[in-house]
Every structure is written in structure tokens, then in C-alpha cells.
Structure 1
């Protein structure tokens, strides 16, 4: 499996292509079925695009909110529809856009000899938090597609058992609880940094562990609830996202220097008078 990603600003154009409705590139409905819809009301490409664009407007910084990834398998490889759906969902999670936080639309195309799906992600999340990052995609995606391939059953059984253990009910519940609590906390205007977040989570029975590099930069985060450990990536709040949140917190807000108030005209005259030397009569 390989992944190819582009970004853009036109949701309607992107989804129209996914649905096989782009001018000159029309497909029959059975050639471009809709596989996944998350946080979007299922409808025409135009209707879904309008929904996604409304969420994208929550961010003034992101000029290209459309994330388009094509997941492709090699020719002749048998891939079930369930595997395609699972691959698309897992890709979103691993790339940093879990479908419980982002709007996602996935189409399957059947116009090639090889199986492939088109994944459309709104980079701006539903909670208006940090947007899906686009840096280092070239290096990240090979590792992600390799992991997905292993989880889909393309590796020996022991590897598969190790990967699917992450889906046990206790771990899933821990992820959901931690994710929801963090979501509520970071939405508070009085958030004050990672120590504040750690203390607030501790009050709710969640322990937090931060990892920093030699320069003191936050590089990793994990949480533990009732003896079940989950990573920041698994709950949708990686170290990079937390760094951005902390950088915009009131605690780290940049303060402008306080300048002295300007002097009144009378004060200015008195000061000028002090500077002038008295002139006596000439002898």
C-alpha cells in the first residue's frame, strides 16, 4: 500500500472528483461508491462541501483546509471493502486526524486495475483546535501505510495479535474518557500550560507523563487511567498539538513593555526651562 497526498482549498471540486462528477471525468455511481462519512451530513458533493467549508472557517490561518490522500494497493492484490474502510479510518487516526475530531469523506474508485480509495479530510477539526499539520508527510506516510498493512493482516499472526490488542474494550474506554476530558480542559479560556493540564487531569484520576528533548522541548506525552496507558496520539492530542495550545495560553501570552505616559504641555515647558541656562546682563 502507498499513500499520495495533496492539499487545496476547494472542497466542492475535491469531493466532486471523488464522487466521479468532475466535468470530463464522469463515472457511473457503482464506479465511485461512498465508503465513509464522518461528522458530515451525507449528501451531494456540493452539500457536504458546504458543511466542511463552514467548519474550515473556524480557522483564519489555514488557507488550504482540504486534505486529499489516495491509498492504493498493488495490482492484483485482493482487498475487501471492510479492509478499505478500516485502512481509511486507521490512516486518519495515524496521520493525526481521528474521525471523532475531523470531518472525513471517503470514496472508493473502481476505474483502475488496482484497488484504491480517495480520503478527503478537513484539516480544521470540529473543536477548532490545532489543524492537521502538513510537514514531513513524505517521511511519515511510508511508516503509516506499513503499519496499516500489518494491521490488515498482511503480516504473520503474532504481529496481527499484537496490533489488534489495542482495540480491547478497556483501552477503548480509556481513550474515549481521556480524550473527552482533555477536550473540555483545553477549551477553557483560563488554560495555563502543561503543568496546569497535568494538575487538572490528576484531579480527575488521570496521570500524565511528558517527554522532553535535551533542549526542553515537549516531544511526547502519554496518559494513564485506571491502570490503562494511552498515548497522546491515540487520544488526538499529540505533543505537537499540546505545544501549540500551550503557546497560545494566557500564561505564555507575550506582554508588551509598559511605556511612561507622555508629559503634559506645562510639564514639557518646565523641563525645557530647567535645561536653559539663565542669562545675566552683559557687563
Structure 2
């Protein structure tokens, strides 16, 4: 179960889009005369006049399920899920219309509601992208519905409005962060795709605590595009890219050490040694091994035994000469 959340200005355009097709059925409604398109539009516009300064009064959510869930769903269950979703989203005490569409393979319905509630107050939509994803995930788990395979499976060509822009930013960020190692590189790469970055600073300081991305005049918080695109998430990815580059970068230290050892052994100078050249190369290879450690000296006990043995042999020889 997923939700596409949209806000708009025209109830007329939204309602006509939902109902002027053969494959649409009104499942549920409140506060509107749902038997006629013109009457629905008139009722919604009458209530929005309670707060005329609110331009984006149209709330529109498309709830979709995987085609694999078709056998688990009934029309009654879809209506119940729509009501539960609205309640959790805080869409209460306002006009709404729930419409089933059967023009796609997967089960889905649309909810259009008035952001001006029955008391003339505005329904808050702060952080509604993130809130909606959390609710859908919780409901999907609780009812045992199929989890999709992520944003890679979304049909970009079918997207419209803010959803199309959001996914365009998502895809641009994904490709940019695969190789960027600094925020400056991120800014440059996104600017080439007509995407601007806006930083949010902690009050009275220069400490960044958030980031937003803007394209075609529409702005999204990084976490609203994807959790990994929050400021902290992107910063961690940039640091990880730098760490991996450092690991893969060639280090001249070992080559320099090899050159010094070859010069000492005369491998590169053509000098002749009393030992075989292959012996020198073998020694060089051993010394250059990262695991190489010099052999430990003999223990003091063994060294002392050899010293006494030599001394005894020397004394014996001395006594023989004196005779």
C-alpha cells in the first residue's frame, strides 16, 4: 500500500479528473452532494470561502495496492482503509470524496478533500510526505499486504505534477551521490540538472541542520524525497565515498621502499654478487611482504650456551699447545 499525496488549487479540475471517466465509482463521501459533478464542485468551493487566503485548498491522495493484493481486497476493505488512512493523517471534520478507479491493473482509489475544515480552519500538511509513508508502511505490515520493490519500480512516465518533480530530484541525487565526495560537487552536479539546494541553519549559527531541493519552483525537504537524502544521510554518504577513495588510491611508499632495497642489493645496477641473483630477488620479495617481520634473536640461554662452548674449546686448545 502506497500513497501519492498532492495539494492543488482547483476543485473543479480535480473532481472532473476523478469522475469524468467510465471506470470511476464514488465509494464514500461526506459534506458534498456526490450524485452530480457540478454539485460536488460547488459544495467544495463554498466551504473553501471560509478561508479565502488559502490558495492550495485542494487535498488529493491516491491510495494504491500491489496487484498481488487483489484477492485480499474488497471494495468494503478499501473504503475502511481509506477512512483509517485519513484519520491517521489528521484529515477530519471536513468534506471529502472517495472514488474507485478501475482503469489500471493494480487496485487503487482517490481521496479528494477540503483543506478548509467544517469550522473554517486549515488542515495542516506539514511534513505530510514523510507522515504518509510511515502510515502506509504500518498499515501494509499490519494487514499483510505486499511490499513493493522500492522507487526503482515506479513508472516515471506515468507520474504527473509534484510527484514527477520529486522523482526527478530523487534520481538526480542517486546518480550524483554515487560518485560525489563533497557538497560542492553535489551542488555543481544538481545545478546542471536545474536543481537548487537550500540549507537550513541552526538559529544564530552557521551550523547546517537541514537541506531542501528545488526544481521548477517546487521545493522538497531532503527527507521527504527519501530518508537517505536528509542532510545527515547525504553527509555520511560523502564521507564514505572519501573513505573508499582513500582505500583504493595507490600508495607510493611501498614502491619507494622496493627501489631502495634493490639499490642496496644491486639488483638494478648490474653489480655481481657472490650469491645467485635469484637469491637477492627472493630476499627482496620477502622483505616487501606486508606480513614480513625480522626473525627474533636467539634466546639468551641459547646464546650463553654457545658462548661457554666456544670458551671451553678455546681453553682446551690453549692447554694442548702449552704441553
TM-score by length of 2: 0.42
Could you state the TM-score of these two structures normalised by the residue count of structure 1? 0.48
Q: Which has the higher helix share?
A: 2
Tell which structure's C-alpha radius of gyration is larger.
Answer: 2
Higher RCO (CA 8 Å, separation ≥ 6 residues): 1
